[in-house]
Amino acid sequence: MRRKGPNPVDKHVGNRVRMRRLMLHVTQERLAEALGITFQQVQKYEKGVNRISASRLQQISDILQAPVPFFFEGAPDSEAEGRTGVANGITAFLATTDGLALVKAYVQIRRPKLRRIIVDMVEQLTGR
């Protein structure tokens, strides 16, 4: 019998927790300590393997200084359950260390023409 994977909404919320945690330079250990749980539990939340309860999400919201709705922005709706869209791919990318570093570096570039050159180069590398 095939085991069912994480719910797409749980996975999305977990990715948003990870993204916000990385934005604030908070380790999984520090978040876990503030929540009174193990860092392994934080890992499971971030992967969507374990669901985050409403009260736990409120705690995470307070610790990571983001309103609760932030964690649901761009979440898949019930009709699109199981399908991943562009927004979910972007959220997953931003939840990685490299993704966040790339975006932070990119927004530091002040010259619009240079930004456009970078976008064009990346699009050429991907075959777009």
| Structural domain contains residue 123 | no
pLDDT on residue 3: 63
| Structural domain contains residue 102 | no
12: Cβ contacts below 8 Å, ≥ 6 apart? 48, 72, 74, 75, 76, 88, 91
89, two tokens: 């791919």
| Structural domain contains residue 55 | yes
pLDDT on residue 76: 83
The count of structural domains within the chain is 1
The pTM score is 0.70
pLDDT on residue 97: 85
pLDDT on residue 69: 94
| Structural domain contains residue 124 | no
| Structural domain contains residue 103 | no
| Structural domain contains residue 122 | no
pLDDT on residue 2: 57
DSSP letter, residue 72: G
| Structural domain contains residue 79 | yes
pLDDT on residue 82: 45
**Residue range(s) defining the domain that contains residue 55:** 8-95
CATH number for the domain including 61?
A: 1.10.260.40
Report which residue type is found at 47: K
Q: pLDDT (tens digit, 9 = 90+) per residue, 88-103?
A: 677 778 878 888 889 8
Measure Cα distances from 39 to 3, 35, 47 in Å.
25, 10, 12
Mean predicted confidence (pLDDT) in 2-22: 88
